[in-house]
Structure 1
Amino acid sequence: MQYKNTLIYSLVLVWIFLFSSNQINAQVKKEVQYDSSYFKIYPNKLTTRFYFSQKYTSFSVHQQSAANQLQYRPNTTLNMGVGATWHNFSLNLAYGFGFLNRTTERGKTKYLDLQGHFYPHKWVVDWYGQLYKGFYISPGNIPYTPANAYYVRPDIHVSLFGIAPYYILNASRFSYNAGMIQNEWQKKSAGSLLLGGELYYSVIKGDSAFVPSAIQQHYAQKGINEIRYAGFGPGIGYAYTLVAAKHLFVLGSLAAAVQLNALTETGKLVSQQTVSVKPTYSFRMAAGYNSDSWNCSMNWVGNKTPMFGINGTNRYDMQTGNYRFIIAKKINAGPHLQKQLIKLNRILP
């Protein structure tokens, strides 16, 4: 029941965001001019794509006196799909086919991953709504245990919700769309300062402690089987696209937010709360070939949130993101198709 209610809230929030971002984009596009010598837009073309993608979410428990960490990972699929973008509205459909994903002895994972990355003009917005249950630790990553054994935890589940909007100061010369959703073409190198903020809430819990009993004496987090985290704060970043010979590009961006964090750690014999100010990081990278017609590229969007517990020594990390390989084609939308797409634009806002 809890998962059902959370799903409903997630879908409502996604719809609200799509509603507002399309309204903002429609209003801003009428007023903002861009430098066509730096990038090119295609208002009458439909961008179609074939792609592979894989989303991930991991949770780590850090050892206090050493660099060792217990990294819990879910079983996620490599997906193959198709999609299309018209102006700033994208629709992608993908599925994790069996021939792309081999079975291993890592247990099973049930998950719903609604993370989205939106690029309305002058903005870049990451949205997270994720529910995962069933994690594992890879062989050799747990000290004092067999080197070839997976440590499987079907009882651990992670809920993560968040939003991270950033304003692009140099949107007249720098295009995220060109590198990330392939519907524009960055012809000259350019970059931009990013200003914004981030807000996250997550719950991680298991039926027993996160640290296996055989090695609990080596971790300050022994006995902890649930953490609740909330954090928000302002952020700043920078993005840059390097272009060679007009068609080859490398895009990179990094943003850091200084957040006020509240963390609650709970175990059978302990419950402790900590408030601190710590940074979070989000990044994206893309590289490939772009032109008036074709785009062949790879991109990676990721986020890392360090969480610190009692006395700043109990550290946990939450990492989430998405890898993609894309082949995209910009095609001319004829008068009839344009008419239908314009109707779609009117319906979406």
Structure 2
Amino acid sequence: MQQSRACLLFVFTSVLLIMALSTPMSVSAQRRKPVPFDSSYYQTYPKLITGRVFFSQKYTSLRLRNTDNNRTLHYQPNNALNAGVGVTYGILTLNVGVPLRFVDPDNKDKGKTRSLDLQSHIYARKWVGDIFGQFYKGYYLRPKGKAAAPDEAYYTRPDLKVQMIGGALYRLFNSRQFSYRAAFLQNEWQKKSAGSFLLGGEVYYGTIRGDSALVPSEYADVFPQQDVRKARFWEVGPGAGYAYTWVLKKHFFLTGSATVNGDLSFIKEFEEDNTSRTRVTFSPNLIFRAVVGYNSDTWTANISWFGNRVSVGSATDDYRYIVSTGNYRLTVAKRFNPKGILRKRLRNAEEKLPIISTEGK
């Protein structure tokens, strides 16, 4: 029931963000002018469908860090590699994947993870938005053998839960020359190197909890949060960054993007004896994107990595909680021209979604 409500909240938030990014300010949508861009820097394909096949792996990991001695406990979910297909037309993208659990030979030794991982990345012409709904239960400790019993390969915590919802929104200042879509949606082609500054903010709410202390008893003397079994937090703050695509011979490219955020972190910790502590701290967070690949008029292939690092404060300055969310992906995509009744249906959709149309200058 909780995951169902979370899924509905995620969909509702996604719809609101899409409406905010795509709704024209004028009353008549038909009179809205297309957003101009420099066609000598990148090319758009508003009338073509982009179809793709991909392999990806999402994750939401947890680190418990002792800031005094820089020791870290790294909890990782037992997520499988996914294989899938997807399609993009204009601002609309749909991807569907299935897990390939037979790929990892140590899968059974890492315990079982139940997860609902909702990540939505929206690349409008002048804005980039990220929405997160992370609901994980069941983790194992890395590296292999750390804190594990003699007859076990990994220390597992089937009771450990990490839940986080939130999002980030940034203004893209050089949308005339720089395209996020070329790297991440494959429906545009960046032909010349260009970059852009980013400015915006983010907000998150989350919980970290287990049936017992988050720190294994073997490391109770090493980590100050040895008695903490639950932490509840929310964070909000502004951020700024930069994105750049380097293009070699028009076809080969490398895209990098990073935003650094300075958040106020409101944290409440609960110990095993049911006592609690509350504190407000400052948390530096990071969202980054990296893509390397090949692009052309019809075919494109790339390897991408999206990452979101949320650093959560604690009741003292001795330790922190770090929730890392992300996605690794290998993508091969092709653009093609829709025909027949599909072309007719898409034309009708274009009239209702004028943001799909673009205009080079």
- TM-score, normalization: structure 1? 0.93
Query: Aligned to 1:37, what secondary structure does the other structure show?
Result: coil
Query: Aligned to 1:341, what secondary structure does the other structure show?
Result: helix
Task: Give distance in 1, aligned partners of 2:24 and 2:63.
Answer: 37
User: Any idea what the Cα deviations from partners look like across 1:271-294, whole Å, max 9, x if unmatched?
Assistant: 111101221100000011001000
How far residue 335 of structure 1 moved from its aligned partner, in angstroms, is 5.5
How far residue 28 of structure 1 moved from its aligned partner, in angstroms, is 11
Query: Aligned to 2:77, what secondary structure does the other structure show?
Result: coil
Matched to 1:307, the amino acid is V
Residue equivalent to 2:345:
340
Query: Aligned to 2:316, what secondary structure does the other structure show?
Result: helix
Match of 1:208 among 212, 216, 222: 212
Residue equivalent to 2:191:
187
Task: Give distance in 2, aligned partners of 1:67 and 1:29.
Answer: 54
Task: Give distance in 2, aligned partners of 1:147 and 1:165.
Answer: 47
Residue equivalent to 1:8:
8
Residue equivalent to 2:295:
290
Range 174-183 or range 145-154, more displaced: 145-154
Q: Percent identity?
A: 41
1:110 matched to 2:111? The reply is no
Query: Aligned to 1:174, what secondary structure does the other structure show?
Result: coil
Residue equivalent to 1:271:
276
Residue equivalent to 1:320:
325
1:227 matched to 2:231? The reply is yes
Task: Give distance in 2, aligned partners of 1:142 and 1:136.
Answer: 10
Matched to 1:94, the amino acid is G
Task: Give distance in 2, aligned partners of 1:192 and 1:141.
Answer: 45
Query: Aligned to 1:5, what secondary structure does the other structure show?
Result: helix
Task: Give distance in 2, aligned partners of 1:141 and 1:62.
Answer: 19
Residue equivalent to 2:359:
none
Q: Aligned pairs, how many?
A: 349
Matched to 1:276, the amino acid is T
Structure 1, gaps ≥5 residues long: none
Range 178-187 or range 301-310, more displaced: 301-310
Residue equivalent to 2:43:
40
Query: Aligned to 1:310, what secondary structure does the other structure show?
Result: coil
Contact in 2 for aligned 1:29/1:121 (Cα 8 Å): no
Compared CA separation, residues 295 and 68, structure 1 to 2 (3 A) = same
How far residue 158 of structure 1 moved from its aligned partner, in angstroms, is 1.2
Contact in 1 for aligned 2:109/2:153 (Cα 8 Å): no
Matches within 5 A, 1:57-68: 57-68=60-71
Range 99-108 or range 283-292, more displaced: 99-108
User: Any idea what the Cα deviations from partners look like across 1:28-54, whole Å, max 9, x if unmatched?
Assistant: 972421000000001111111011111
How far residue 139 of structure 1 moved from its aligned partner, in angstroms, is 4.0
Task: Give distance in 2, aligned partners of 1:194 and 1:249.
Answer: 20
Match of 2:252 among 245, 248, 253: 248
User: Any idea what the Cα deviations from partners look like across 1:313-348, whole Å, max 9, x if unmatched?
Assistant: 221111000111010001122354222123345677
Task: Give distance in 1, aligned partners of 2:36 and 2:277.
Answer: 52
Residue equivalent to 1:76:
79
Task: Give distance in 1, aligned partners of 2:31 and 2:119.
Answer: 25
Matched to 2:287, the amino acid is S
CA RMSD of aligned residues (A): 2.3
How far residue 306 of structure 1 moved from its aligned partner, in angstroms, is 1.2
Range 217-226 or range 2-11, more displaced: 2-11
Task: Give distance in 1, aligned partners of 2:170 and 2:179.
Answer: 14
Task: Give distance in 1, aligned partners of 2:219 and 2:19.
Answer: 49
Range 67-76 or range 90-99, more displaced: 90-99
Contact in 2 for aligned 1:139/1:146 (Cα 8 Å): no
Query: Aligned to 1:207, what secondary structure does the other structure show?
Result: coil
